[in-house]
Amino acid sequence: MIAASGSPGSELPAPSVGKRAFPRASLSAATNALQVRGVLAERVIVSTHLDPFLSLKALANYSGLSVRTLREYLTDSVNPLPHYRVGGKILVRRSEFDGWIVTYRQRGHPDVAQVVAEVLGTLNADRQPN
């Protein structure tokens, strides 16, 4: 057995012949980053059952929107739907969709007369010289 550095009393098994003498992944206490096979990753994102990647068909089922409408939102100039393209497949993470759809939340019905008055008021204010 070999004592692990920095932690008295803890022991690691001695490397045997023909096996790797280094761990596949190690967590650095100083940087809180995961190092996997020589690559330092500060943030590892793993899709879980609670936050899966959905195809447009599955997302249409989840959201109640049609696949055609979802495709239009992918290229929306104001608020595009965040997505991933893997080959020809379009995938959307459910949590990202949930965050994106919140921007379309509305409460009640806006008073049309008030909205028109506000728009005209800003237009008139822009036309008046300082």
Residues 64 and 35 in one domain: no
Does the pTM surpass 0.85? The reply is no
Please report whether residue 48 resides in a domain. Answer: no
Which residues, in sequence order, are CB contacts of 71 under 8 Å at separation 6+? 56
Residues 99 and 68 in one domain: yes
**What is the span of the domain harbouring residue 32?**
7-41
pLDDT 10s digits, 44-73 = 555 567 889 999 999 999 999 999 999 999
Please report whether residue 78 resides in a domain. Answer: yes
Which residues, in sequence order, are CB contacts of 36 under 8 Å at separation 6+? 24, 25
In which band, very low, low, confident or very high, does the pLDDT at 10 lie, cut at 50, 70 and 90? very low
For the residues 95-107, what does the mean pLDDT come to? 92
Look at the chain and report how many structural domains it folds into: 2
Please report whether residue 24 resides in a domain. Answer: yes
Residues 93 and 58 in one domain: yes
What local confidence, expressed as pLDDT, does residue 81 receive?
Answer: 97
Residues 37 and 57 in one domain: no
Residues 37 and 69 in one domain: no
For residue 80, pLDDT over 60 is answered with: yes
